[in-house]
Structure 1
Amino acid sequence: MWHNSSMSDFLAPPVPVVPAPFHTPEREKLQEQARAFAAERVLPVADELDKVKGEIPRSLLDEMGELGYFGITVPREHGGLGLGAFEYCMIAEELARGWMSVGSIIARAQGAGTGVADEARRAELLRRSAAGTWIGAIALSEPDAGSDLAAVATRAERDGDDFVITGRKRWIGNAKAADFLQILVRTADPEPGEKRSAGLATLVLEKERDSFPAGLSGTPIDKIGYHGFVTWDLEFDGLRVSAANLLGEQGFAEAQQWLNIARVHTAARAVGLARGAVEDCIVYLQEREQFEHPIGDFQAVRFKLATMAARVEQARSFYQHVAQRLDQGEPCEREAAMVKLLATEMAAEVTGDGIQLHGGNGYTTEHRVERYWRDARLTTIFEGTSEIQQKIIADRLLPRSPLG
């Protein structure tokens, strides 16, 4: 059975409130609320549903909508909290501590898919996004275009007032349950001398929840972790989307800009998972006895735990720093790649260390630490693999020679 930690276990040791220079009373209150919600509402659901690969219940999503978590970055005049990347990532860390998919689902709103030209329609969608009734899915990757988004081949041909989409997308989380799909498509081939990303655009498909419209079908992808919502392989076969739902013809640049925030968000989720491993280890090391002592008395174990905790604090400070800079409007592509690289690799290692500290019990489904590891392992892959982050960083530190 799952280890049943109390609220005090979940918070032990208590993570300091948002430190200076980032501290405000409002952020402190928001963090405490998110932490309590994750402990009392998210964690029990994760314990029940993750082991059966269940989906986040709609009732839990409704509660998150009432708390404003789907509209953290939506302006107040549209019903959102009117906050920035810092608060968005801070809340994501707390939610991911309970279940990573809950820390992830909030990214499927935040005003996504609302960039339509009609002002009244845009305002309506922003209100729905903030309320959690406009939750989408982002269709970027394809079987042959993951790290290399410029290779996107899914076509959108103009036909009167519509675009007709043909092609295939892969790794689309929440696709069937979503209210909309935001789809990166190719509307034209690049001209000679143009970048390969020329001709990419973004279309928004409005759809009914829990169904696919005519011209779209999907196959679930069976994953070893990241449960809570289903990930899909989608086939587009003549799907019609209104041309009014074209968000722009700078699809590649828009996707890259969105990925900067997404990568800091991933770093925050990774910190939440690693923190879960540390906190659960603190409880376990006091409960588990060998040689007539709690194993937490042994120096080798204590030092490993100390190093784990220090690495979590380091990664948290880094993602908060980058998030703050994003909110100040600074260009942070390099820093976003750095924090995504370091935080996610840290989380994969720290959660693995958590399994080790649990001994044989860590390699069972009786304790949560295996869930943290399975989810943390994915953070090194999605939103750009660790190798892609290294490439981004290196290319900005060391330009290639003309002969390179």
Structure 2
Amino acid sequence: MTHRPVPRPGTPRYLTEDRRDVQQLARQFARERVRPLADELDSRQGAIPDSLRDEMAELGFFGLMIPEEYGGLGLGVFEYCLVAEELARGWLSVASLLARGNGMGGEFTEEQRKELLPRMAAGEYLGAFALSEAEAGSDVANLSCRARRDGDDWVVHGTKMWCTYADQADYLVLFARTSDKDPAKPHRGISAFLVDKPRGSFPAGMSGTKIRKIGYFGWSTWDLAFDGLRLPASAMLGEEGRGFYLALSGLEVGRAHTAARAIGLAQAAFDDAVEYARTRQQFGGPLTQFQDLRFKLARMAADIEAARQLMYHVATEIDSGRRCDREAAMAKYFASEMAERVTSEAMQIHGGAGYTTDFAVERHWRDARLTRIFEGANEIQLRVISDDILGPAR
């Protein structure tokens, strides 16, 4: 009996022709521009060059979700995640740079939107998020950085941690306590500020120390110290004392974006593992002759596709205007756990070669490990999911 392969189904309905075009554009850019730079720079902790950022701007990547009337492309979270996944296949840091535009910050006034969003879409006004602190990582309500009134200004004292791109950003979104903490409701009294700054340096009253990381290279992550940083009253974003809600407002998009980045890393490691298995000769033939390795690759492919479809669902829900806190947490959790597992298996397929910097698989593995931590550690995602199922724990 002759074996005939079962035809694969056509392109899913949600991958429209326009979305496939966006995906292909990002894939080609990642393959031709991002991956070669990552292979060259990551092992020596070199910085993402300004020229690459400028190319991303020319392609419209920083304005994907910015409305057309403000100079953006007016697309949705789905397209944003498609681009993020493809860029992460080249370098996680470049996929993360995507989020430094696309309206990052929120709560802009109409005047600010008219002024800032076109510059953001053009890559001329990119931001960094100053939220976490040494004693307030996932516990966002426990901030101690303080902004006090001094006439018409606010004066900031305190510290922040894990602020990636703080030096190169054109602005920071800074969260600080503007009134005394209520032990019963600690999330109240936190406000958000737009801090304009020179690209490549820090303003007066602010200094930084680079954090020594094991991955996520291409840009620097900072501990920041504020010692009398003076801000005008107009720097406040949204209402005074409601910064906590601003911080939480972008979580669904952030978690979908993290899922997309994790999937991109896993796909890159999988692709590298397949190529290596086909060319590496052992016991008289390629590694692909061994059933255990073939099944390993099959499990990896299934895990990647399952995470991708969940991410697509979440992006569709967000674009439809429906709340999906639970599903977004699931996507971030599942994709990041999967990415660490798949990139580790890809290293195993490479054998000893995978434990060298001669192959990119070790970079995918190091960066995948981070996706379980940032944008809300996975323990927080499990808390969100379980609370939605069972109600909050007493």
> Where on the TM-score scale, by shorter chain, does this alignment land: which range?
over 0.9
> Quick check: 1:116–1:244 contact (8 Å CA) kept in 2?
no
Q: What is the aligned-residue RMSD (CA, Å)? A: 1.5
Is 1:297 equivalent to 2:289 in the alignment?
Answer: yes
Of 193, 198, 218 in structure 2, the residue corresponding to residue 208 of structure 1 is 198
> Quick check: 1:225–1:371 contact (8 Å CA) kept in 2?
yes
Alignment-derived partner of residue 166 in structure 2: 175
Three-state SS of the structure 2 residue aligned to 1:165 is strand
Note the alpha carbon deviations across 1:276-327, whole angstroms, 9 max, x for none. 0110111100110010100111101100011001100110000010011001
Q: CA deviation at 1:115?
A: 3.6
> Quick check: 2:106–2:246 contact (8 Å CA) kept in 1?
no
> Quick check: 1:267–1:340 contact (8 Å CA) kept in 2?
yes
Is 1:232 equivalent to 2:222 in the alignment?
Answer: yes
Is 1:245 equivalent to 2:235 in the alignment?
Answer: yes
Of 267, 277, 280 in structure 1, the residue corresponding to residue 259 of structure 2 is 267
Change (3 A) 1:60 1:322: same
Change (3 A) 1:153 1:192: closer
Matched-pair identity in %: 54
Say which is worse superposed, 329-338 or 107-116, in terms of deviation. 107-116
Note the alpha carbon deviations across 1:13-41, whole angstroms, 9 max, x for none. xxx99942312111011100100000000
Structure 2 portions without partners, runs of 5+? 1-7
> Quick check: 2:107–2:246 contact (8 Å CA) kept in 1?
no
Alignment-derived partner of residue 343 in structure 1: 335
Alignment-derived partner of residue 12 in structure 2: 20
> Quick check: 1:217–1:235 contact (8 Å CA) kept in 2?
yes
Distance 1:192 1:388 in 2: 21
Query: TM-score, with normalisation over the residues of structure 2?
Result: 0.95
Change (3 A) 1:396 1:185: same
> Quick check: 1:334–1:396 contact (8 Å CA) kept in 2?
yes
Distance 1:69 1:271 in 2: 19
Is 1:86 equivalent to 2:71 in the alignment?
Answer: no
Alignment-derived partner of residue 375 in structure 2: 383
Q: CA deviation at 1:161?
A: 2.2
Distance 2:111 2:102 in 1: 18
Change (3 A) 1:192 1:270: closer
Alignment-derived partner of residue 33 in structure 1: 25
Alignment-derived partner of residue 117 in structure 2: 126
Distance 2:258 2:320 in 1: 20
Distance 1:255 1:389 in 2: 16
Distance 1:98 1:222 in 2: 22
Q: CA deviation at 1:55?
A: 1.3
Distance 1:389 1:120 in 2: 36
Of 321, 343, 361 in structure 2, the residue corresponding to residue 369 of structure 1 is 361
> Quick check: 2:70–2:113 contact (8 Å CA) kept in 1?
no
Alignment-derived partner of residue 52 in structure 1: 44
Is 1:396 equivalent to 2:392 in the alignment?
Answer: no
Alignment-derived partner of residue 138 in structure 1: 129
Alignment-derived partner of residue 351 in structure 2: 359
Is 1:319 equivalent to 2:311 in the alignment?
Answer: yes
Letter in structure 2 aligned against 1:293: G
Three-state SS of the structure 2 residue aligned to 1:366 is coil
Note the alpha carbon deviations across 1:222-253, whole angstroms, 9 max, x for none. 10000111000000001011110111232111
Three-state SS of the structure 2 residue aligned to 1:93 is helix
Letter in structure 1 aligned against 2:12: A
Alignment-derived partner of residue 285 in structure 1: 277
Q: CA deviation at 1:191?
A: 4.5
Note the alpha carbon deviations across 1:51-92, whole angstroms, 9 max, x for none. 111111000000000000001100011110101111101100
Alignment of 1:154-165 (within 5 A): 154-165=145-156
Alignment-derived partner of residue 177 in structure 2: 186
> Quick check: 1:114–1:125 contact (8 Å CA) kept in 2?
no
Three-state SS of the structure 1 residue aligned to 2:208 is strand
Three-state SS of the structure 1 residue aligned to 2:209 is strand
Q: CA deviation at 1:116?
A: 3.8
Letter in structure 2 aligned against 1:157: R
Say which is worse superposed, 296-305 or 391-400, in terms of deviation. 391-400
Distance 1:205 1:191 in 2: 26
Structure 1 portions without partners, runs of 5+? 1-15
Three-state SS of the structure 1 residue aligned to 2:250 is helix
Note the alpha carbon deviations across 1:164-220, whole angstroms, 9 max, x for none. 111000000000010000011111124475x21000111010000010111000000
Three-state SS of the structure 2 residue aligned to 1:229 is coil
Distance 1:152 1:377 in 2: 26
> Quick check: 1:156–1:186 contact (8 Å CA) kept in 2?
yes
Aligned length, in residue pairs: 385
Q: CA deviation at 1:254?
A: 1.4
Distance 2:101 2:153 in 1: 25
Distance 2:200 2:356 in 1: 33
Letter in structure 2 aligned against 1:137: A
Note the alpha carbon deviations across 1:317-364, whole angstroms, 9 max, x for none. 000100110011111111111110000000000000000000111111
Distance 2:112 2:183 in 1: 38
Q: CA deviation at 1:148?
A: 0.3
